[in-house]
Amino acid sequence: MDDRELRRLMLPELQPSMAAHIDRVVDLADRLARRHNLDVARVRLAAQGHDLLRLVSPSELLARAEARGMEIDPVERAAPVILHGPLGALELEERFGVDDYDVLEAIRWHTVGHPEFSSEAWAMFIADKTEPSKVERAPTLGGVLDLADESLEVAALAYFDLRFDEAIRLSQQQHPISKLTRDALVASCRTS
């Protein structure tokens, strides 16, 4: 399975705006992967699959997670959109035969991050957050992308700092995994 085959399988289920977002993420993730000598095929496949369920309604995402007996964090209950990552990974595996563990992990955690993310997963994560239309809407994200040329982890840390600041401003809860992820990034950026 490569990203082009997955694109062909997913396309009938995607709204055009979402297909366009995914195409931009694949392009940028590809560039970041080449820049850092990563596994380009894996990064492209993760980018292609990451938003299969992004436009499923919050109530439907919760219902699907409950039907599967998934453990649902209170932060996910308050913002079920987070569940499009884990549920998307499961559906890509079951329906489209995506079976690469690292690709599925990158997709599962692409909204909240993960302390054990591979460099490939970070490339896809950064591309998702900083693709051109997102930078257009929120220009501070351009600074995150600039950092990614040098280090994906430093860029990811800058992204979490922006997001945590925003969460404080809006009195939003952060996902517990995001807190662990930020701690892990602080530790690894300090030692490298």
The residues of the shown chain that bind Fe ion, judged by CB under 5 A, are 51, 54, 128
Give 135 or 191: the residue with its C-beta nearer to Fe ion. 135
Q: CB-wise, 125 or 153, nearer to Fe ion?
A: 125
Structure tokens at 3: 């990203």
Question: In whole angstroms, what is the distance from residue 6 CA to residue 96 CA?
Answer: 7
Contact 127, 159 (CB under 8 A): no
Q: Which is nearer to Fe ion, 42 or 84 (CB)?
A: 84
If the CB atoms of residues 163 and 186 are measured against Fe ion, the closer one turns out to be: 163
If phi > 0 it is left, if psi is from -120 to 50 it is alpha, else beta; for residue 65 that is: alpha
- Residue among 51 and 100 whose Cβ is closer to Fe ion: 51
CA distance 121 to 146: 18
Single-letter amino acid, residue 82:
I
CA 138/CA 153 separation, integer angstroms: 20
- In the numeric block, the tokens 């995402």 are attached to 61
What letter represents residue 168's amino acid? Answer: I
Query: Of 90, 18, 84, nearest to 48 (Cα)?
Result: 18
